[in-house]
């Protein structure tokens, strides 16, 4: 009787763990901007942790500066891309307005 109960419990656990999720397609995809913002937060956290560990004596100074430079360079690249993506709609609006003033052609030739 105990063996049967253990067997049923085992089968139930296996089904629960390995049964595929039914609503996988409902998961929302992140935009590039959302991904970059999350990446920026992770990089800032890593820089803060690196600084803490350096002051705790876990890093040699040259390793600390090398790792710090790598993280700062990556953060700068992420911030630059975020700035470009956040500025993109305003540049598109400005481009549309300048094209309309030039006669409507997107290449600025006036459409004539």
User: Token match 């959302």: residue?
Assistant: 34
pLDDT of residue 105: 45
- Residue 21 covered by a domain: no
Q: What is the mean pLDDT of the chain?
A: 83
pLDDT tens per residue across span 56-85: 999 999 999 999 999 999 999 999 999 999
Which residue range(s) make up the domain with 69? 30-88
> Is residue 70 included in any domain, yes or no?
yes
Q: Indicate whether 52 pLDDT > 90.
A: yes
Mean pLDDT of 34-51: 96
Asked whether residue 18 is domain-assigned, the answer is no
Tell me whether residue 34 is in a domain: yes
Write down the pLDDT at residue 99: 54
55 token code pair = 């002051």
- In sequence order, what DSSP letters do the residues of 85-112 get, joined into one string? HHHHHHHHHHHHHHHHHTTS-TTSSTT-
Domain count of the fold of the chain: 1
Say what the pLDDT of residue 100 is. 52
Digit-coded pLDDT (tens) for 19-30: 877 766 666 788
Tell me 25's DSSP state. Answer: G
41 located within any domain:
yes
Q: Is residue 51 part of a domain?
A: yes
Determine the pLDDT at residue 103: 52
With respect to residue 15, please indicate whether it lies within any of the assigned structural domains.
no
Question: Residues of the chain with pLDDT > 90: what percent?
Answer: 59
């Amino acid at each position: 009787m105990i063996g049967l109960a253990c067997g049923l419990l085992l089968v139930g656990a296996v089904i629960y763990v390995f049964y595929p999720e039914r609503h996988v397609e409902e998961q929302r995809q992140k935009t590039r901007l959302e991904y970059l913002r999350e990446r920026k937060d992770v990089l800032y956290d890593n820089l803060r942790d690196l600084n803490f560990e350096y002051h705790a004596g876990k890093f040699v100074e040259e390793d600390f500066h090398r790792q710090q430079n790598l993280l700062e360079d990556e953060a700068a690249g992420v911030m630059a891309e975020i700035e470009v993506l956040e500025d993109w709609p305003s540049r598109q609006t400005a481009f549309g307005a300048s094209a309309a003033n030039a006669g409507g052609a997107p290449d600025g030739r006036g459409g004539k």
